[in-house]
Structure 1
């Protein structure tokens, strides 16, 4: 029987590319997202291996829908790729409802989805948090995103230690600045909401954005080929030369 993986936020960008790489390694993938049309595009890449679940993982009902789709099957991997950058702008003006929505998507969904799938992941399963440089550095205009990614990084550290004895390896990875729809959103921001916008416009204009397919190949290698202790020991970075050398891709 083929190994199974769950990839959240797999309707486009990096999530979609990760689904493609995992199926090319012979895995079955349950891909989750909020947009049915985008999920259908992902499924079309490997319709015999990909199952779609249209659900909002920021809600308890959405997580229950995914858990039902997984059933009692074992999972080799759970990839927490879904995330939102918004709200963008100074924290002095952030609205409570927007703040809570961002934390629900970026922090609560990964935690409580992992919690709900512990039995499926036991004895060899891996959980991967898709991190960001924003987890470790504050950027004006990205207060909500930076805070949520910092919280996600702490979840990785705590869950890594708590779940080791259950045979579940928890890892974290920074993909770098990847050419995804999120980058398009960043470049649309006025400087008064995101003062660093010109840097990202320059990266795009000079062809310095990372390719989703390259980052996805690195991610698949990390999930499948790296031993469990190394997978969990440190936060991996696609742009770190030492990590790239170990990958050999």
Structure 2
């Protein structure tokens, strides 16, 4: 039976490119996202290897649908790529409802989907798509920074707890990537996001990372890097030594 990769947030950006790349490497891929049309478009790349399911990872019922779609298949790769940036603006103004909705997708989704799939993951790998926001404060991104910091700690704890089950847990900081989230960022005002000009400048200079290259790097981590190296520390697509190892792969 073909090993299965599960990629959340697979309708666009890094998730879509990674799902296609893993299918090209011979894995069956379950693409998860909230917009069925985008998922079906992505599946057209390699329909024999790709299956789409519309589900919200922040909703327990959505996670149950994902588990049901996997059935009795072994999960070789579980990629937690789904994430939401909003609510954007000062923490002094954030509503409890918006806060909880974001944390449900960004924190609860990865944790409890991993938990639900533990019996299918031995010998496999879990990958968290992280962010520089996990390690530094961005005014206006309080919800997102908090969520990514929590996700980083979840990665570290699960890495230790699941090692005995031969489940390798890794984390990847992809840099500033040319995805729909970046378009959302560039549409902000300095009042809601004071550092918006940095992202406008990166886009204007053509300095956003290519999601296809980031996805290729992630596929290399998931399929080619030894498990001990994979889980040893967080990987960064913009770290020169990490890129050198990726470029030097045989």
State TM-score, norm by structure 2: 0.98
CA contact (8 A) 2:14 2:214 kept: yes
Q: Does 1:66 align with 2:66?
A: yes
Q: Does 1:22 align with 2:38?
A: no
Match of 2:96 in 1: 96
Q: 1: CA distance between counterparts of 2:215 and 2:56?
A: 23
Q: Counterparts in 2 of 1:75-224, with a 5 A limit? A: 75-122=75-122, 124-224=123-223
Post-superposition CA distance 1:158-212 (Å, at most 9, x none): 0000000001000000000000000000000010000000100000000000000
Q: 1: CA distance between counterparts of 2:222 and 2:49?
A: 18
Match of 1:228 in 2: 227
Q: Does 1:51 align with 2:65?
A: no
Q: 1: CA distance between counterparts of 2:75 and 2:40?
A: 22
Post-superposition CA distance 1:138-160 (Å, at most 9, x none): 00000000000000000000000
Q: 2: CA distance between counterparts of 1:73 and 1:179?
A: 33
Match of 1:38 in 2: 38
Residue 125 of structure 1 and its aligned partner are, at CA, apart by 0.6
Residue 246 of structure 1 and its aligned partner are, at CA, apart by 0.9
Residue 70 of structure 1 and its aligned partner are, at CA, apart by 0.5
Q: 2: CA distance between counterparts of 1:212 and 1:248?
A: 16
Q: 2: CA distance between counterparts of 1:152 and 1:83?
A: 11
Structure 2: gaps (5+ residues) = none
Residue 2 of structure 1 and its aligned partner are, at CA, apart by 2.4
Post-superposition CA distance 1:196-239 (Å, at most 9, x none): 00100000000000000100000000000001111100000000
Residue 24 of structure 1 and its aligned partner are, at CA, apart by 1.1
In terms of mean alpha carbon deviation, does 178-187 or 17-26 score higher? 17-26
- Give the secondary-structure state (helix, strand or coil) at the position aligned to 2:75: coil
- Give the secondary-structure state (helix, strand or coil) at the position aligned to 1:76: strand
Q: Over aligned residue pairs, what C-alpha RMSD do you find?
A: 0.7
Post-superposition CA distance 1:87-116 (Å, at most 9, x none): 000000000000001100000000000000
Q: 2: CA distance between counterparts of 1:158 and 1:142?
A: 24
Q: 2: CA distance between counterparts of 1:108 and 1:14?
A: 20
CA contact (8 A) 2:3 2:73 kept: no
**How many residues get paired?**
248
Residue 57 of structure 1 and its aligned partner are, at CA, apart by 1.1
